[in-house]
Amino acid sequence: MYTGALPAVSNRETWSLSVTVTDDTGAAIDLTGAVVTIGVREPEALQPRVTYTSGDGKLAIATPATSGVFMLNADLDPSLFPPGQYEVGVVIKLASGVKSTLIVATLPIVDGVVTSS
């Protein structure tokens, strides 16, 4: 499990995150049939502000799933994410039914100042 801080992101851009899931030997874990869920919340909040689930159009398991890679590309909205520190959790449920927490980290979100057209 990774704990720590993720790189800062602007609240006026697409947040991109790519993760390779590996076992203890460094070999990629087959994500065929897996479900990945990412939640983002304010510190100490009980519920996430947003939740992304693989297959929702923003969070996807890469092809081939045997690569062990999943990717998030989510547009952040300044009205939903004002500048501040947020908490991110990433959980995976493999096809075998095994659930694992992959990431518990902080995510600094800064004001991007300019909105692109």
How many domains does the structure of the chain reveal?
Answer: 1
CATH of the domain at 92: 2.60.40.10
Residue 12 lies in a domain: yes
What is the mean pLDDT of each successive set of 10 residues along the chain, which is 117 residues long? 94 95 94 97 94 96 96 93 96 96 96 77
Q: What is the pLDDT of residue 11?
A: 94
Distance from C-alpha of 112 to C-alpha of 68, rounded to nearest angstrom: 32
Residue 101 lies in a domain: yes
pTM: 0.92
Residue 114 lies in a domain: no
Helix (H) or strand (E) holding 90, with range, is strand 84-93
Q: What is the pLDDT of residue 113?
A: 82
Residue 42 lies in a domain: yes
Distance from C-alpha of 87 to C-alpha of 3, rounded to nearest angstrom: 11
Q: Write out the residue range of the structural domain in which residue 87 sits.
A: 2-108
